[in-house]
């Protein structure tokens, strides 16, 4: 990997079709703020900007919605923070591109890019160094229908204006957010499904990305990575989706990976995802 000067570029898409290689680049917001993030220049012609990582720092059965749960809440499992910490919808940033698999990362790109059309997700083992993200990822998939164009061109606008994170407000029968089909660059829908708890797989359809799900107790998740949920059946969406509101019926469901370890850490049985998935960082890209 080599470092290039990219003065004035506002997203990795500005380099698409040129000879740039994947790696870390300097980008600028339209307001003149400089920052660094990772560009994937290989997938489908390249031009993908890393905008966020979702990483669970503490998936054991207590200490949840505590420090490190930035994509849900760091305020405890608390009815009064029903919107979580608001980081899906606000302008806060945190983390560092080089630490994205050891810590939550929210780049300025998450909200400063406003013409994104699709998202891509890489599932990478925690603590993988940047230079090995691509080779160590076990699943890579992306939407292709340009859905973000209809929701303000980035996820901040999607959540703020279209699908807010608010516990206790929405109806699980009617208010689940949209899902979009994904193309796979590594792995398959069947691989995706195999990592979820055996007791939850029947209620999931792999090969999709869904937003803002509402479970039976009106708790909210932000994203279901690689799956859409069955809105007619068992509504334990917290066992398959990530991020979201800061209050859940039980402490152990509160956190960036919500109920993914509800029946034990990494067991892969009943409601718990397997060890590979519980120790995964989700890298989210725009293009």
42 binds a copy of itself (CB under 8 A): no
Dist. CA 73–CA 103, nearest whole Å:
15
Which helix (H) or strand (E) covers residue 278, if one does? helix 275-278
| Phi, psi at 231, each rounded to 5° | -80, 0
Dist. CA 107–CA 154, nearest whole Å:
12
Interface segment toward a copy of itself; rule CB under 8 A; list 29-37, 136-144, 209-217, 225-233: 29-37
Interface segment toward a copy of itself; rule CB under 8 A; list 83-91, 165-173, 175-183, 202-210: 83-91
194 binds a copy of itself (CB under 8 A): no
The CB-of-223 to a copy of itself minimum distance in angstroms stands at: 20
264 binds a copy of itself (CB under 8 A): no
263 binds a copy of itself (CB under 8 A): no
Query: For residue 143, what are the contacts with CB-CB under 8 A and spacing of at least 6?
Result: 118, 119, 120, 180, 181, 182, 183, 209
Nearer to a copy of itself, 3 or 149 (CB): 3
The angle formed by the CA atoms of residues 131, 136 and 142, to the nearest 5 degrees, is: 95
**Are 219 and 244 spatial neighbours (Cβ–Cβ below 8 Å)?**
yes
**Are 148 and 286 spatial neighbours (Cβ–Cβ below 8 Å)?**
yes
Strands (E), 136-286: 139-143, 179-186, 204-206, 208-214, 220-224, 227-229, 242-244, 280-286
Query: For residue 106, what are the contacts with CB-CB under 8 A and spacing of at least 6?
Result: 51, 52, 70, 87, 92, 93, 94, 95
Hunting for tokens 């960082």 — which residue is that?
281
Interface segment toward a copy of itself; rule CB under 8 A; list 97-105, 134-142, 173-181, 212-220: 97-105
Nearer to a copy of itself, 115 or 175 (CB): 115
The CB-of-275 to a copy of itself minimum distance in angstroms stands at: 16
75 binds a copy of itself (CB under 8 A): yes
Among positions 7-26, residues that touch a copy of itself (CB under 8 A) are: 8, 23-26
267 binds a copy of itself (CB under 8 A): no
Query: For residue 64, what are the contacts with CB-CB under 8 A and spacing of at least 6?
Result: 58, 77, 251, 252, 253, 254, 255
Interface segment toward a copy of itself; rule CB under 8 A; list 42-50, 77-85, 180-188, 272-280: 77-85
Site string for a copy of itself, 123-162 (x = CB under 8 A): ---xx-xxx-------------------------------
Dist. CA 40–CA 47, nearest whole Å:
6
29 binds a copy of itself (CB under 8 A): yes
Q: In the numeric block, which tokens belong to residue 1?
A: 């990997």
97 binds a copy of itself (CB under 8 A): yes
Nearer to a copy of itself, 2 or 174 (CB): 2
Interface with a copy of itself (CB under 8 A): 1-3, 8, 23-26, 28-34, 36, 57-58, 60-63, 66-68, 74-76, 78, 80-81, 85-86, 89-93, 96-99, 101-103, 108, 112, 126-127, 129-131
């Amino acid at each position: 990997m080599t470092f290039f000067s990219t003065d004035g570029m506002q997203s990795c898409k500005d380099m698409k079709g040129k000879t740039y290689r994947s790696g870390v680049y300097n980008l600028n917001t339209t307001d003149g703020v400089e920052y660094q993030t990772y560009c994937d220049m290989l997938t489908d012609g390249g031009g993908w900007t890393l905008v966020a990582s979702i990483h669970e720092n503490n998936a054991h059965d207590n200490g949840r919605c505590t420090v490190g749960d930035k994509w849900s809440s760091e305020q405890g499992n608390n009815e009064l923070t029903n919107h979580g910490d608001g980081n899906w919808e606000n302008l806060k940033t945190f983390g560092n591109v080089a630490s994205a698999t050891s810590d939550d990362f929210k780049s300025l790109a998450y909200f400063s890019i406003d013409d994104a059309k699709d998202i891509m997700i890489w599932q990478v083992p925690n603590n993988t160094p940047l230079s090995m993200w691509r080779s160590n990822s076990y699943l890579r998939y992306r939407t292709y229908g340009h859905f973000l164009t209809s929701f303000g061109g980035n996820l901040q606008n999607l959540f703020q204006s279209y699908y807010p994170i608010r516990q206790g407000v929405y109806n699980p029968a009617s208010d689940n957010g949209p899902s979009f089909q994904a193309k796979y660059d590594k792995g398959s829908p069947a691989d995706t499904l195999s990592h979820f708890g055996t007791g939850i797989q029947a209620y999931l359809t792999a090969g999709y990305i869904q937003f803002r799900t509402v479970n039976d107790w009106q708790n909210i998740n932000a994203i279901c990575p690689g799956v859409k949920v069955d809105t007619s059946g068992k509504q334990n969406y917290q066992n398959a989706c990530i991020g979201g509101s800061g209050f859940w019926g039980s402490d152990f469901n509160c956190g960036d990976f919500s109920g993914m370890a509800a029946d034990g850490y990494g067991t892969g049985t009943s409601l718990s995802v397997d060890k590979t998935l519980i120790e995964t960082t989700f890298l989210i890209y725009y293009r």
